[in-house]
Amino acid sequence: MALVTGASSGIGAATAGELARRGAAVALVARRKERLDALAATIAADGGTALAIEADVTDQAQAEAAVAQAAERLGRLDTVVNNAGVMLLGPIVDAPLEEWDRMIDLNLRGLLYVAHAALPHLLSAAQDDPRHVADLVNVSSVAGRITRAGSGVYNLTKHGVGAFSESLRQEVTGRHVRVSLVEPGGVATELTDHIRPEIRERTRSRFDDLQMLDAADIADAIAYIVGRPRHIAINELLIRPTEQED
């Protein structure tokens, strides 16, 4: 049984669909309920099981309620994919502070709230049949490894995801909860749609001459991670388009 945040589009939607195709019942968590309902209907039409949960994970109470509802309705949680995030690039000097707040709230606080609420369920599932292992996958970015001018606070949040993931991994790996960090490079999603127009085109132009990854490519990688046998943990996965240099 799996829960995926940011499931209304992009990597989240693709991951939920892929996990469902591989036999998982999936809780779909995001703010855009109509998109979740459409995805849940598609999964059901393909013979899978999906539960649409409208929630803003930047609100602690909503994040906790979404995890509790998923665990109750699905019976347990074996896999949680913390995918919800936002990328608002631009210079630090004279930056709109609202953009910083949005990135910190979603990329960090939202991820932390979901992880905190889900961990008791994952620790319990790791002790039970049939797998005796559970997975928390935190979706970061190549920006969690490489710092660039114009992405300072986005870099801050994604480096933070990496630090949190590794510390938590060391805490719970002995209890067979695997914590994995996935760091995508350029992926064709809605992520750049939220950037200010004058910065958006400059950002997109970086990828004009290369073939971007699809959301399905990242979904396939996540499904591979959580599908490993109990004695194998994929702790970190950096995945770029072949032609991307940084």
Residues catalogued as catalytic:
154
Helix (H) or strand (E) holding 53: strand 50-54
Measured CA to CA in angstroms, residue 6 lies from 27, 104, 111, 120 at distances of 11, 15, 11, 21
Residues in the chain: 246
Measured CA to CA in angstroms, residue 8 lies from 12, 13, 35, 78, 98 at distances of 7, 6, 5, 21, 23
Q: How far is 22 from 224, CA to CA, in rounded Å?
A: 10
Contacts 24+ apart (CB under 8 A), 155-160: 157/85, 157/103, 157/104, 157/107, 157/108, 158/107, 158/183, 160/107, 160/108
In sequence order, which residues have a C-beta less than 8 Å from that of residue 36 and are 6 or more positions away?
Answer: 7, 8, 28, 29, 30, 52, 53, 54
Q: How far is 76 from 94, CA to CA, in rounded Å?
A: 46
